[in-house]
Structure 1
Amino acid sequence: MGFFKAFRGNHPETIGGDISQNSAPPPGPPPSHGLAAQEYHHTPPPGPPPEYLPPPGPPPLRKASDEPPPYHDWTVIPDTALLPPPPSIGHDASPGGNANRSDADLAHEWCRTHPLIRPHQPAVVHCDSVSNGNIELIQPREFRGSLSKLGLGCWKGSTVPGGRDACLLGSLPCYFAFSDSPLVTAMKKVIYFEVKVLSYGRGREGDASSIALGWSALPYPTWRMPGWERGSLAVHGDDGRRYVNDTWGGKDFTSTIQAGQTVGLGMEFSIPDTPPDYGSSPAQTPGIKVDVFFTRDGIKESGWSLHEERDSRNDLGVGGLEGQFDLYAAVGLFGGVEFEVNFNRTRWLWKPS
Structure 2
Amino acid sequence: MTKKTYAPPPGPPPGYSDASRPGNGPPTESDNTNLGPLPPYHNWQEAVPDTSTLPPPPVTANYISAMGNASSDDAERAHDWCDASPLWRPAFPSAHVYQPVQKYQIQHLKSSEFNGALSMHDDRWRGHTRDGNGDCILTTILPLYFALADSPFVTERRKTIYYEVKLLGLRAGPSPRDASGLAIGYVAQPYPTWRSPGWERGSIGVFSDDGCRFVNDSFGGRDFTTPFRVGETIGLGMTFQLPLDVNNARGTLKLRAQVFFTRNGELVGDWDLHEERDVEAGGIEGLEGDVDIYAAIGFFGGVDFEICYHPRGWLYHPE
TM-score (norm 2): 0.83
- Counterpart CA distance in 2 for 1:75 and 1:326 is 48
**Letter of the 1:333 counterpart:** F
Shift in CA distance, 159/86, structure 1 to aligned 2, threshold 3 Å: same
- Give the Å deviation of 1:320: 0.5
Kept after mapping to 2: 8 A contact 1:162/1:204 = no
**1:58-73 matched pairs, under 5 angstroms:** none
- Counterpart CA distance in 1 for 2:56 and 2:253 is 18
- Counterpart CA distance in 2 for 1:352 and 1:125 is 26
**1:226-265 matched pairs, under 5 angstroms:** 226-265=197-236
**1:5-52: per-residue Cα shift (whole Å, max 9, x none)?**
xxxxxxxxxxxxxxxxxxxxxxxxxxxxxxxxxxxxxxxxxxxxxxxx
Shift in CA distance, 132/328, structure 1 to aligned 2, threshold 3 Å: same
Partner of 2:162: 192
The reply on whether 1:336 has 2:302 as its aligned counterpart is: yes
- Give the Å deviation of 1:132: 1.2
**Letter of the 2:132 counterpart:** G
- Counterpart CA distance in 2 for 1:101 and 1:301 is 32
Partner of 2:240: 269
- Counterpart CA distance in 1 for 2:66 and 2:137 is 20
Unaligned residue ranges in structure 1 (runs of 5+):
1-71
- Counterpart CA distance in 1 for 2:308 and 2:276 is 32
Q: Secondary structure at the match of 2:125?
A: strand
Which structure has the bigger radius of gyration? Answer: 1
**1:39-118 matched pairs, under 5 angstroms:** 74-76=44-46, 77-118=48-89
Percent identity between the two aligned chains? 47
Partner of 2:182: 211
Shift in CA distance, 277/178, structure 1 to aligned 2, threshold 3 Å: closer
Partner of 1:350: 316
- Counterpart CA distance in 1 for 2:237 and 2:49 is 36
- Give the Å deviation of 1:74: 4.2
Partner of 2:172: 202
**Letter of the 1:190 counterpart:** T
**1:314-325 matched pairs, under 5 angstroms:** 314-325=280-291
Q: Secondary structure at the match of 1:251?
A: coil
- Counterpart CA distance in 2 for 1:314 and 1:98 is 18
The reply on whether 1:160 has 2:127 as its aligned counterpart is: no
**1:124-153: per-residue Cα shift (whole Å, max 9, x none)?**
12221111111112111101111111134x
Kept after mapping to 2: 8 A contact 1:90/1:250 = yes
Q: Secondary structure at the match of 1:127?
A: helix
- Counterpart CA distance in 1 for 2:194 and 2:254 is 32
Shift in CA distance, 95/74, structure 1 to aligned 2, threshold 3 Å: closer
The reply on whether 1:307 has 2:278 as its aligned counterpart is: no
- Give the Å deviation of 1:286: 3.7
Partner of 2:254: 287
Partner of 1:176: 146
**Letter of the 1:297 counterpart:** N
- Counterpart CA distance in 2 for 1:290 and 1:133 is 22
- Counterpart CA distance in 1 for 2:45 and 2:280 is 35
- Give the Å deviation of 1:73: 6.0
- Counterpart CA distance in 1 for 2:247 and 2:301 is 46
- Counterpart CA distance in 2 for 1:173 and 1:78 is 45
**1:287-342: per-residue Cα shift (whole Å, max 9, x none)?**
2000000010111111000001111x201110010000000000000011100011
**1:146-192: per-residue Cα shift (whole Å, max 9, x none)?**
1111134x211111121100000001100000000000110000000
The reply on whether 1:142 has 2:126 as its aligned counterpart is: no
- Counterpart CA distance in 1 for 2:203 and 2:45 is 46
- Counterpart CA distance in 1 for 2:45 and 2:243 is 37
- Counterpart CA distance in 1 for 2:122 and 2:200 is 31
Partner of 2:15: none
Q: Secondary structure at the match of 2:57?
A: coil
- Counterpart CA distance in 2 for 1:262 and 1:75 is 46
**1:207-263: per-residue Cα shift (whole Å, max 9, x none)?**
211010000000000100100000000111111011000000000111111100000
- Counterpart CA distance in 2 for 1:306 and 1:339 is 27
The CA RMSD measured in Å over matched residues stands at 1.7
Q: Secondary structure at the match of 2:243?
A: coil
Aligned residues: 275
- Counterpart CA distance in 1 for 2:262 and 2:191 is 25
